[in-house]
Structure 1
Amino acid sequence: MDIPMELDDFKSAWQSLDARLARQEQLQLAWLRDRKIHQARRNLRWLHVGMLLQMLLGLGLVLLGVGCWTHNLHTPGLLATGIALHAFGILHIVFGGLVTGLAAGLDYSAPVLRIQKRLRLLLRVQTLNSNLCGAPWWVLWVLVVIGFAGLSPTHVAGPTPLWIWISLGIGILGTLATWLWAAKAARKPDSLYARLDDGTDGIRRSLRLFDEIDMVEHD
């Protein structure tokens, strides 16, 4: 009669131990998730700062562009420069707002799969932002110089200086080369081409953190 009771005691002790191990595993998983989420937030902190600076830069481009084209309605070159600066300024503001909104809207309490999808969307938008607002600065800096010249109350008549044409040519080649490099990096994310600084490093590191959480949860 003692044997059945011993078996029951053994079974009860085993179930209790199993429950404690399960709780310990859940606590460890929760601790791991909290630590990874903290690291992910820290990884994206500089992205928020960068997008704020981009939007401020965009506002500056808009003001410069408007000032340039409104003062040079009868000077085709300066008019076109002002309109281009105006348009690129708006583009900087729009994409800065999009990236900031996506990053700020991350719900870290959501399931890992949903967070991963959101981060991948953020990665695609930031990559597009880098290509449309970052790479063209090979050319934009020349337009900024011309734009400030267009604000001058006095204009010196004459042909466009040679250095401007040379700088524009080099800038166009640089922009195209940057886009080519980015295209190769997109096809081979683990290759040397992926070392291009496109502002996505923090997003990629956050994605890797949630990939690790996903592996542990499904292990």
Structure 2
Amino acid sequence: MNAELELDDLRRSWQALERKLEAQHALNLELATETRVDKAKARLRPVLVGQAVQAAIGIACTVIFARFWLAHLDEPAALVSGLLMHAWSVALVVSAVTELLLVVRINYAQPVLVIQKYLGVLQYWRTRMAPLLGLAFWVLWLPLVEVLLKHFTGADIAGWFLWANVAVGVAGLAGTLWGFRHLRRRGHRFADAIDADNAGGGVRSAQALLADIRRFEAE
């Protein structure tokens, strides 16, 4: 009888200890989650600032290029160049606003997995879509030069030079896109390095902090 009582006491003691350990683990997880989520949120603040600046620059460029092409409606080279740069400026604003919305809409009270999904979308945009704004200058440098030349001197780029370099630019853009795609498919370190740079240190750091939480939850 005494042995049975001792066994029951031991079982109750183990159960009490397990409950305490579970409560302690839950508390540690809560504290770790709160700390890391706060840090992840702080890591994304530079993204907000940077994209707000980009949006402001894009809006200013949109106004400038709109005024330019409206003032040259009867000059085809200047008109087309102004319209192309106007379209690029609008894309600059759209990209910035998209990133701002992705960051602002992250609800840090949601499960970590949900936050990670939002960050995944943000990273995809920064590594796949936003870089197109820079790559477009394989071709757009010519319209930009035409706009500046026309504004400051009143002259136009020579037609033969314009079309020859447009052809080179289109080929260069296509080759660059194909090359990056090929490197990504092969999992090349160069492609990974470019994607990491485009994603930005803030996004990568936030993802690492959330990954720490996921690992802690799995323990």
TM-score by length of 1: 0.80
Gaps of 5+ in 2: none
Distance in 2 (CA, whole Å) between partners of 1:192 and 1:161 is 36
Residues 1-219 of structure 1: pairs in structure 2 closer than 5 A? 2-152=2-152, 155-156=154-155, 159=158, 171-172=169-170, 174-184=172-182, 186-188=184-186, 191-196=189-194, 199-201=198-200, 202-219=202-219
Distance in 2 (CA, whole Å) between partners of 1:119 and 1:136 is 25
* Cα separation, partners in 2 of 1:135 and 1:53, compared to 1, 3 Å: farther
Distance in 2 (CA, whole Å) between partners of 1:144 and 1:45 is 32
* Cα separation, partners in 2 of 1:151 and 1:22, compared to 1, 3 Å: same
Q: Deviations over 1:35-60 (max 9, x none)?
A: 33233223322222221222122113
Secondary structure of 2:130's aligned partner: helix
Gaps of 5+ in 1: none
Shift of 1:194: 1.6
Q: Deviations over 1:55-112 (max 9, x none)?
A: 1221132122112211111111100011011111111111211111011111122122
* Cα separation, partners in 2 of 1:208 and 1:124, compared to 1, 3 Å: same
Secondary structure of 2:198's aligned partner: coil
Shift of 1:4: 4.4
* Cα separation, partners in 2 of 1:158 and 1:36, compared to 1, 3 Å: closer
Say what the alpha-carbon RMSD is for the aligned residues: 3.0
> Aligned AA for 2:59?
L
* Cα separation, partners in 2 of 1:209 and 1:183, compared to 1, 3 Å: farther
Shift of 1:190: 6.3
Q: Deviations over 1:96-132 (max 9, x none)?
A: 1111101111112212222222222222222343233
* Cα separation, partners in 2 of 1:185 and 1:45, compared to 1, 3 Å: farther
The structure richer in helix per residue is 2
Distance in 2 (CA, whole Å) between partners of 1:134 and 1:158 is 22
Distance in 1 (CA, whole Å) between partners of 2:129 and 2:32 is 32
* Cα separation, partners in 2 of 1:193 and 1:127, compared to 1, 3 Å: closer
Aligned positions, number: 217
Shift of 1:185: 5.0
TM-score by length of 2: 0.80
